[in-house]
């Protein structure tokens, strides 16, 4: 796995065209608001790097973190947060898609899924859209400490089964808990492999 020796916030950007142009490989993190994205980013890097909040929908920009001086971790706004206006939601969706669909430095996106819930249509729609656009991605099931192992396995299987109705090749997936710090090595190893491949 990669040792994360340094992780620093770079800046936040309102659109893809304003993001860094140095071509360093980027790994993006996205998911429904409150899915545990900031907690996961902190587990992968260091405590306090991304803000964990009780109020969902905090992240409304493309947030760049430079890891070991060599690759960017990009924290994207959550999708489908109901408590913002329709207009704002549309703006956020455009920002997210503008980034994901145009970003040549993007190696892959990690899509976070709350494993305590059965498959959510909004997540499936988002993933199907990524697949249709040919964006490489992996799934990260979050909050696995909150439910029993059997239910975790059941919800993962239900989710993958939903995807298999549309896709022949299923994406890689990771089961994590930021609370128990599980899944960290697997994800960092996967990132390391993809950085090296470039």
Q: How many CB atoms neighbour CB 128 within 10 A? A: 15
Query: Tokens 């993006």 identify what position?
Result: 28
Residue 143 vs 184, nearer CB to ligand GTP: 143
Maximum Cα–Cα distance across the chain: 45
Alpha carbons 44 and 29: distance in angstroms, whole number: 12
Binding at 45: pick from Mg ion, ligand GTP, none (beta carbon under 5-8 Å per type): none
Per DSSP bridges, beta strands 62-67 and 26-31 are unpaired
CB 119 within 8 A of CB 125: no
Q: Examine residue 33 and tell whether it contacts Mg ion (CB under 5 A).
A: no
Site residue total, Mg ion (CB under 5 A): 3
CB of 5 or CB of 55, closer to ligand GTP: 55
Nearer to ligand GTP, 97 or 145 (CB): 145
Q: Residue 39: name its binding partner from Mg ion, ligand GTP, none (Cβ under 5 to 8 Å by kind).
A: ligand GTP
How far apart (Å, rounded) are the C-alpha atoms in residues 10 and 88? 25
Which is closer to ligand GTP, CB of 19 or CB of 84? Answer: 84
Q: Do the strands 71-75 and 62-67 form a parallel or antiparallel pair, or are they unpaired?
A: antiparallel
Residue nearest to ligand GTP (CB): 36
Shortest gap between Cβ of 58 and ligand GTP (angstroms)?
A: 4
Backbone angles phi, psi at 41, to 5 degrees: -60, -40
The least distance separating ligand GTP from the CB of residue 4, rounded to whole angstroms, comes to 18
User: CB-wise, 171 or 183, nearer to ligand GTP?
Assistant: 183
* Nearest distance in Å: CB 177, ligand GTP: 4
Q: Is 38 in the site for Mg ion (CB under 5 A)?
A: yes
3-35 b/e (C-beta count within 10 Å ≥ 16 → b): ebeebeeeeebeebeebeeeebbbbbbbbbbbb
- The entry of ligand GTP, Mg ion, none that residue 145 binds, CB within 5 to 8 Å by partner kind: ligand GTP
CB of 196 to Mg ion, least distance (A): 29
Residues of this chain that interact with Mg ion (CB under 5 A) are 37-38, 59
């Amino acid at each position: 796995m990669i040792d994360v020796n340094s992780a620093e916030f770079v800046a936040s950007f309102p659109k893809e065209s304003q993001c860094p142009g140095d071509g360093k490989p980027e790994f993006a993190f996205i998911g429904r608001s409150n899915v545990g994205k900031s907690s996961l980013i902190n587990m992968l890097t260091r405590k306090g790097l991304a803000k964990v909040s009780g109020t969902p929908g905090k992240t409304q920009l493309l947030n760049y973190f430079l890891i070991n001086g060599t690759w960017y971790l990009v924290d994207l706004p959550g999708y489908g947060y109901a408590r913002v206006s329709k207009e704002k939601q549309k703006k956020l969706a455009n920002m997210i898609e503008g980034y994901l669909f145009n970003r040549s430095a993007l190696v892959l996106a990690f899509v976070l899924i709350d494993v305590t819930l059965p498959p959510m249509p909004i997540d499936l729609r988002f993933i199907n859209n990524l697949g249709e656009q040919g964006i490489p991605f992996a799934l990260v099931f979050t909050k696995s400490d909150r439910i029993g192992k059997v239910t975790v396995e059941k919800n993962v299987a239900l989710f993958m089964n939903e995807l298999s109705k549309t896709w022949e090749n299923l994406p890689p997936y990771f089961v994590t808990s930021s609370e128990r710090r599980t899944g960290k090595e697997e994800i960092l190893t996967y990132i390391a492999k993809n950085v090296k491949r470039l």
